Amino acid sequence: MAQAEESSAGELAARLTDSVKRYLLTLGFRVEAPAKLRGESGTEHTASLSATADPNARVILDTYSSGEKIGEEEVINTYTKVLDTSPSRAYIVCLPGATDLARRLGGIYKIGLVEGSSIDEAVVNLGVSSIAAAAPRPAVPGLSKTGAIKCHRCGYVWRTRSEARYVTCPSCFDKVTRARPAVRVILQRE
């Protein structure tokens, strides 16, 4: 009986990883599953998925599915990968969810926790998270990078009509200081 439950949990985990992979591919990411990541320490880490939009932006995702909510151990496990491999972002996609302590740790470690009671709900919640904003965007003709704002935290580039000193990054919701244009003072002699 326990072996049958273990086998169905393994199948559920494989289906969850496959669904997340297909979703990331539709967004335009290059996806590796399972991902082998070489850390700065020389250690090779394994993540459920690794998605890249460009060579400098890597997102790692760990997927967990079992009958119980994930705890702090899974968040700490993902955090060790983040510390050693320095991805742009990290997410944990978990079924059926996460404990309160795991959510708090995810917030502290800046790891996005995506929860769902089913695979479909988890993939929808992943789409609602900021990962869709990190997807590669096609070049828009006539839109130059002049006057664009770049987030110092996540590297997302956007344009805004706002004249406020601080603007919010639409990708990671961090506050970004807007560069003030240089004002040229012309002295007039009478």
Question: What is the pTM assigned to this prediction?
Answer: 0.66
Determine the length of the chain: 190
Query: Apex CA 129: angle with CA 33 and CA 106, to 5°?
Result: 80
> Class assignment of domain 2-134?
alpha beta
Q: Where in the chain is the domain with CATH 3.40.1350.10?
A: 2-134
Cβ 95 vs Cβ 122: under 8 Å: yes
61-120: pLDDT as tens digits: 999 988 889 999 999 999 999 999 989 889 999 988 899 999 999 999 999 998 988 888
Helix (H) or strand (E) holding 11: helix 2-27
Tokens of 60: 């790692």
Residue that wins the pLDDT comparison between 9 and 186: 9
